[in-house]
Structure 1
Amino acid sequence: RVLDEINPRSIVTSAKQDENMTRFLGKLASQEHREPKRPEIVFLPSVDFGLEISKQRLLSGNYAFIPDSTTATEKILFLSSIIPFDRVLTVRALGGLLKFLGRRRIGIELEDYNVSVPILGFKKFVLTHLVSIDQDTYSVLQIFKSESHPSVYKVASGLKEGLSLFGILNRCRCKWG
């Protein structure tokens, strides 16, 4: 479904991959009937998806939408407003993607090697018929909310269901409660 909606030219993934995912990508690469739409599968070393190296790549990237006069602090603040640095998998995926673009040198093939690939922008893909919300929105909506248990005997187990959207709309009942 993701491949049909996004229709990528390349799929960039780690060489250290789950066995099921590797099998799926192998089948995808070997399909003949998808020839015109078949994406290229690119395996990068797992080191290229490391968290710290990915953060460094993101912070040192050549972004066309950030003026050259911007200080390092302003650049960090701006990037943190459009990239969720608290989402480890997103940061690692972006780091791997930037490494892929740097190796392929897409758009600057004829330039000197010290010229980095300019990034024109970021685009978030959300699949149709799915809702995507960030952590702040999820917290404010209080879909699920836990509270400390008032009983002193249940302090160890800790939490009970608080006033939440789930608790209000949940109509599941049984004779035990």
Structure 2
Amino acid sequence: MQFEETAFWLSEIMPAQLELRQVNGARVGTATLDDGRALAATADFSDTDTGLMTDDEPQRDVRCELMVTAQVSEAEAASAVLAAAAVLQGAGGMVPARPGILLPGVGGAAGLIGVSVAHGLLMAPRLWGEQTPHVAEENRMTLMLEVVMLTEEEYQIGVQSGVDTLLRRLRRRGADLDDWRRE
């Protein structure tokens, strides 16, 4: 998708009007949701090929835009989503942008200060429940992925026991994934 098409798609699916801007050469949209959480989403990450393809015939590239929601400022949310995008871009297609991928050090790369989260996890977006927004084009599919920020302890559980175990523990604990200052 061209930037204008991506911007239109984002404006159609997001529950708040995004303010689109360019930050360090990357495009990002930010907004504040009705409940006060910040929302940030990339608006050009779908140009990055992380090596994913559809299983159907004919195969199509699978691309994504990244988003975060959190009880932080829009600037902090934007920094986190752009840091996650930079980590994936820096991997040169060796790390697929798909649910279940851990992104070490995203918090530090984002320059987050005064928070307890330091790492990222890609997952299906929580904002739409069971639905994952996507756009199907002739040669590719673009979908939305959420970057959930993790504490060091949560990240270590994901590394040692797997992401499924981590997600079960987070649900059992009732962890507020939008609270970046959680214990």
Query: What range describes the TM-score normalised by the shorter chain of this pair?
Result: under 0.3
Structure with bigger strand share is: 2
TM-score for the superposition, normalised by structure 2: 0.25
Q: Which has the higher helix share?
A: 1
TM (norm. structure 1) is 0.25
Structure showing greater radius of gyration is: 1
